[in-house]
Structure 1
Amino acid sequence: MTFSLAEVEAKQKVKVVSLGSANSIFRKKLLAMGLTPGIEIDITRKAPLGGPLELYLRGFSLSLRRNEALGIRVELLDSVG
């Protein structure tokens, strides 16, 4: 079962299934930052009230706005530490 990245709770580990309907310019930026289909991501934190998400992937932290995370489809793997 897949979810939007914005729907997943903090302290979860997910695998990117697709970058969904992200526009081509934003999609290219995501790919350049290492957010590619198949990559595993730890959702470190989610800011309250619709704020950004902090992700950990490929050895670095990345923050995304919640509306940017809506188009990214992921599947749950497990909880992070």
Structure 2
Amino acid sequence: MKTLREVKCGETVRVQRLNGSGALKRRIMDMGITKGAEIFVRKVAPLGDPVEINIRGYELSIRKNEAESIEVI
């Protein structure tokens, strides 16, 4: 499975599964990143952190470690 961190700039993907547990998983879900949500990757910083995405009509920046815990198709 591919993670959100591996997605290239300009691609649109759909969330397949959220890995992790506890506070990290809850935080990701609170940002609107849930199974089935469509994500458009706007920008990836030169060193890969953060990743700017569009999800559910708003812009969001997430860290590399958060992006690694989101499996996409």
Q: TM-score, normalised by structure 1?
A: 0.84
Matches within 5 A, 1:58-73: 58-73=56-71
* Unpaired segments ≥5 residues, structure 2: none
Provide the alpha-carbon RMSD of the alignment.
1.0
The answer on whether the counterparts of 2:28 and 2:66 sit within 8 Å (CA) in structure 1 is no
Q: Is the 8 A contact 2:17 2:70 kept in 1?
A: yes
Q: 2:21 aligns with which of 3, 20, 23?
A: 23
Indicate yes or no: 2:11 matched with 1:12: yes
Q: Shift in Å at residue 24 of structure 1?
A: 1.3
Residue 79 of structure 1 corresponds to none
String of CA shifts for 1:17-71, please: whole Å, max 9, x gaps.
0011x23111111111110000000001100113210010111111111121111
Whole-angstrom CA distance in 2 between matches of 1:50 and 1:44: 13
Structure 1, unaligned runs of 5 or more = 76-81
The amino acid across from 2:67 in the alignment is A
- SS of equivalent residue, structure 1 residue 50: coil
Task: Check whether the contact 2:52–2:59 (CA below 8 A) recurs between aligned residues.
Answer: yes
Normalised to the residue count of structure 2, the TM-score between the two structures is: 0.92
Q: Which has the larger radius of gyration?
A: 1
